[in-house]
Structure 1
């Protein structure tokens, strides 16, 4: 099985901000993750990434809030999207 693109969307919040969600289903977990998804969820404000959830190869599931990077626990895509939305609304209401 090849990777399957499940979601690719960009939502414009204002003239200065948007967020983008990209989720792939992959045949094997990305090294560092234990699930069959590769994802990137990002909030961009004034051309700067201020929030990003991703599972970069070798790092596993984590988020970036400004310059701080911290691990997250992946339980489901729904939970991931809810967590991202909660952080997004807190950072850019």
Structure 2
């Protein structure tokens, strides 16, 4: 499988917090997903991943907020990023 990494960013949010964003274009859907993207978006605070969006093979599209895991309805990479940043902002305001 040849994958293209069209999007990769890392943002330092605070001295002890960062966001890492990875989105690959893949030749076909990852097992459990219905689109041609593989992604891993993470918000890490003090060494702990507190928010993660991903679509690992077999699990499909989902997100982790704290200790909770829930399905995620992927539509587009732009919407994925907007939803992720919304959750990061909500976490930071809590």
Q: Same fold (TM over 0.5)?
A: yes
State the match for 1:53 in structure 2. Answer: 53
Gaps of 5+ in 2: none
The residue correspondences of 1:62-81 to structure 2 (distance < 5 A) are: 62-81=62-81
Provide Cα deviations, 1:54-74, integer angstroms capped at 9, x if missing partner.
Answer: 001000000001111000111
Provide Cα deviations, 1:28-71, integer angstroms capped at 9, x if missing partner.
Answer: 10000000000000000000000000001000000001111000
Residue 92 of structure 1, CA deviation: 1.8
TM-score with structure 2 setting the length: 0.95
State the match for 2:5 in structure 1. Answer: 5
Give every structure 1 segment of 4 or more consecutive aligned residues whose post-TM-superposition deviation is greater than 6 Å. none
Distance 1:68 1:15 in 2: 25
Give the superposed CA RMSD.
1.0
